[in-house]
Amino acid sequence: MDLGLRGKRAIVTGSTKGIGRAIVELLAAEGCDIGLCARSEDEVADAVRDLKARGVTVSGGAVNVRDAEAYKAWLDRTVEELGGCDIFVPNVSAGGGMDSEKNWWKCFEVDVLHTVRGCEQLMPQLEKSGHGSIVIIGSTNALETFYAPMAYNAMKAALLTYSKQLSQFIGRKNIRVNTVSPGPIYFEGGAWEMIKSTNQKMHDATLKAMPNGRFGTPEEIARAVAFLASPAASIITGANLVADNGFTKRVQY
Ligand SMILES: NC(=O)c1ccc[n+]([C@@H]2O[C@H](COP(=O)([O-])OP(=O)(O)OC[C@H]3O[C@@H](n4cnc5c(N)ncnc54)[C@H](OP(=O)(O)O)[C@@H]3O)[C@@H](O)[C@H]2O)c1
């Protein structure tokens, strides 16, 4: 199946490592021009160099998406360098953690506000595209109780309702909005490798909840994102695609 991604311009936040990196690798392999960011300047430079080798245009920036002005300036620069934007994937998260009020604010600013600010800032470009597509990265932590009442889980839940309502609001502009909700994803340097070394019990219990006995991979999430981002998914908007190896137990109606 041709996804129709060739020549599309995709901006993905938090894309030097993990799931975000797998998304930009796959989108570039499918022929998309890429805008990527992270906080580490060196890692951005490495990612830009690696992706350019695929023969697509790549624009990278070292920016903390929590800094509203710097983030918006980076989005503007990226749009200028790519000549527009067809696909936006807000992927950065402040991550889980136990929960001071300070952490709630951080999770709100990073997970929720960077997504909302990005969608608003890129709206004119996505409308111009004629095939605009936003894919928000959620988490199964928003769908079922997980571990503890964390800001992370609540912010991911907020993104789900934002995604659905935005999809209704901007459907007339030919912009689709969907969420991909990954279950636990294991990769070198990722959160689950860290949890394995610091909380073996939690790691093992999580693994046990996966019917096929393994964690998901960033590449598997990237394939779900690439499909939803692509014109091949033209009928799908307002959806939440749970990509979790069967980790969650609820029935999805
Ligand atoms: N891993 C999982 O099991 C899992 C499960 C469900 C959902 N998710 C979701 O999937 C998404 C990606 O998760 P991941 O595990 O791949 O993350 P990760 O390994 O922590 O990678 C995060 C990426 O974002 C960048 N980043 C982090 N904070 C940033 C900030 N404030 N501003 C700009 N860039 C920033 C990082 O680079 P720098 O550090 O250089 O900034 C890196 O490139 C998140 O939304 C997460 O909630 C993950």
Handedness of CA 221, 223, 224, 226 (dihedral sign): positive
Gap between the Cα atoms of 140 and 162, Å rounded = 16
Report whether residue 91 contacts ligand 1, using a CB cutoff of 6 Å. yes
The residue count for the chain = 253
Ligand 1 pocket member 59 (CB < 6 A): no
The pLDDT, as a whole number, for residue 121 is 98
Mutate to test the pocket of ligand 1, among 36, 51, 93 (most ligand atoms within 8 A of CB): 93
pLDDT tens digits, one per residue of 24-38: 999 999 999 999 999
Give the model confidence (pLDDT) of 76-123 as tens digits. Answer: 999 999 999 999 999 999 998 877 999 999 999 999 999 999 999 999
Q: Where are the beta strands (DSSP E) in the chain?
A: 9-12, 33-38, 58-62, 87-89, 132-137, 175-182, 240-243
With CA atoms as reference, report the closest residue to 119 among 49, 42, 178.
Answer: 178
Active site residue 152: yes
Q: Is 97 left (phi over 0), alpha (psi -120 to 50) or beta?
A: left
C-alpha 109 chain-centroid distance: 16
Query: What's residue 173's pLDDT?
Result: 97
Domain boundaries, the chain: 9-187+217-239
Q: Residue 59 pairs with which residues in a beta bridge?
A: 35
Catalytic residue among 147, 152, 162, 186: 152
pLDDT of residue 96: 87
Domain 9-187+217-239 has CATH 3.40.50.300: no
Does the CB atom of residue 37 touch ligand 1 within 6 A? yes
Find the DSSP H helices in 83-190: 101-107, 114-129, 151-170
pLDDT given for residue 148 in this prediction: 87
Q: What is the pLDDT of residue 174?
A: 98
Nearest to 97 by CA among 161, 15, 191: 191
**pLDDT score for 253:** 85
Q: Which parts of the chain have pLDDT scores under 50?
A: none
Residue 120: helix, strand or coil by DSSP? helix
Strand partners, 177: 134
**181: phi then psi, degrees, rounded to nearest 5:** -110, 100
